A and B are shown apart, each in its own frame.
Chain A
Amino acid sequence: MRREAPQKLGDYGPLFFPAMMLIVFFVVPFATMIAVSFFQRQQGGFYVPAFELANYQRFLSLFFANVLGFSLMLAVTVAICCVVLAVPFTYLLTRMARKVQIVWLVALLSVLSLSEVIIGFAWSTLFSRTAGITNLLVMAGIMSEAKALLPSFGAVLTGMVYQAFPYTVLVLYPALVRLDPTLTEAARTLGASPVKAFFTVVIPALRNTITATLIMVFIFALGSYLLPQLLGRPQHWTLSVLITDQAIYQSNMPFAAAMAVFLVLVTLGLVALTVLAGRKGDAA
């Protein structure tokens, strides 16, 4: 059957339910959140309709600048770590037998589907004094006594890389699996070592994919709302943690909403900027 434009009103029928659901339960809530960000907070956790910019003015503080700076820095670090680890991994994975690939993909999907609560709990156990990895090092005689490795920046970073790594591999997978194998074969025939072929042929061919992946992982990491709280100190809290904290524990919905709107704008702005930079890079 050819694709054709809808002839009569009835042809739009199938669209009705999905469109209604997405508008009512995604577009309207999104608009509600934007509206609430201008509302005035009342004592006791309630808010009244108003139009004030007070919630946005709070951004102009040193504390907030620090949180924003740290959030961006952390997300960039996580994205770089993940891409550096995942590009060679995914490349090698796509060159393996399909059966082996499936086993790895199932494992990656299983880790990816874990909630942050569980990842946070697992790593806080692994980094704890009583049940942590240091106990194994003590048993092996490398360390003299077990100690806690958290809260620390290293713990936050490890937890977040753990969370984002499977995502990175799955974002890279389609592009790498379709990469023309003759590219590397040609390089090999001409005498390049596998490692050299990887760096001089595969990586340049994937430049755009890698940039896109960096952005995707960056946004993914920016969304991490629990790991900085569970594995780090208060100075390691990110914007996402702060939004959750304001909404749930401080019951300051207008301020939380304002920060969420800000987070959306920062995310979209950075994506646009990177896309623009990528275009310029291609043109040059």
Chain B
Amino acid sequence: MTGALSKVYFFLIGLFLALPMIVVAGVSVNEKQTLAFPPKGFSLSWYGEIFLNPEWRNALFASLTLAILSAALAVAIALPLAWFLWRRIAPWANIFQLLGIAPFTLPPVITALGLLTFWATTGFYGQPWTAVVSHAIFFVTLPLVTLSLGFTAIDRSLVEAAATMGADDKTIFRTVVLPLILPYIVSGYAFAFVLSLNEYIVAYMTVGFTMETLPIKIFNALRYGYTPTMASVTILFVVTAAVIFSLVARFGDLPKLLGAMSSDDT
């Protein structure tokens, strides 16, 4: 009885999560430029449009470049910080842990507005690279959290063994720590990458007037009317996110990354 009830409950939640995507997927295969569901006719041309129409293609390219670079920078900031906090006893350094988590915890408008006033004051407003730095700071929380988790999972006796045999800090990091922490670097990068790809407000407030990322392009297109390309881009985004997170789950331990015990315990 209760089993059936929970099945119904899961079905309803699943439906709630999937319904907008089902309708958008339906809209994206309309033959003509109409907003109709169920779709009239069937055509995949709106998916081709993302790559063929120069405006959408440029936005796709801008989004990908931004996500690749900003996620890399976020990891570059998070890795030494997480390593230092794990390696050293320096309580005051925890303030940087807090600073790394704050941008993502505060309402995004605040981080966005802070960066907007900053870039405007320093005179760099509108430069494409400012978006990379802004996203890296905004999303540094994600690699920081996964890496901190990864470091706590390292058995310190392994590192101690290497140290007793005479390895210095650098050698230990390269030969022992790095291989153990690599999965967490990859998943931290993946989280930052997917969120950067989707992010709108920080990108809009920093470079919104000089370049268009895909979310900015969708928003601008929304204001001028409707085109099914928005629907096909949306589906492309959902599928990309699902594929990347599935890969993280395939090669890492997703439940553990999200706070569960490791799979050996259960």
Contact = CB atoms under 8 A, between A and B. Distances in A.
A163 B238 CA distance: 14
Main secondary structure of the interface of B (DSSP, over half): helix
Interface in A215-268: 219, 222-223, 225-226, 230, 240, 243-244, 247-248, 253, 256-257, 260, 263-264, 267
Nearest to B160: A1
Interface residues of B, number: 97
Most A C-beta atoms less than 10 A away, residue of B10, B21, B134, B201:
B201
Tier of interface size on chain A: 35 or more
A114 B241 contact: yes
B48 interface: no
B44 to A, nearest CB: 18
Contact of B24 (A22, A89, A122, A223): A122
B83 interface: yes
Contact of A1 (B87, B113, B194): B87
B88 A6 contact: yes
Contact of B242 (A107, A132, A240): A107
A74 B204 CA distance: 25
Interface string B81-109: 10110111110010010011011011111
A14 B40 CA distance: 59
Nearest to B118: A29
Contact of A247 (B116, B200, B222, B258): B116
A111 B195 CA distance: 11
B200 A226 contact: yes
A32 interface: yes
Interface stretch (B52-60, B178-186, B229-237): B229-237
A212 to B, nearest CB: 13
B153 interface: no
A74 to B, nearest CB: 13
Contacts of A139: 38
Interface string A170-212: 1001110110000000000000011100000000000000000
A118 B86 contact: no
Contacts of A219: 105-107
B103 to A, nearest CB: 6
A51 interface: no
Contacts of A222: 107
A67 interface: no
Nearest to B20: A122
18 contacts: A1-B87, A12-B84, A25-B133, A32-B114, A32-B121, A33-B118, A92-B9, A102-B255, A114-B238, A117-B218, A130-B37, A131-B35, A132-B37, A170-B258, A173-B259, A219-B107, A225-B109, A243-B113
Interface of B: 2, 6, 9-10, 13-14, 16-17, 19-21, 23-24, 26-27, 34-38, 76-78, 80-81, 83-84, 86-90, 93, 96, 99-100, 102-103, 105-111, 113-118, 120-121, 133-134, 136-137, 140, 156, 159-160, 162-163, 172, 194-195, 197-201, 204-205, 208, 215-216, 218-219, 222, 230-231, 234, 237-238, 241-242, 245-246, 249, 254-255, 258-261, 263, 266
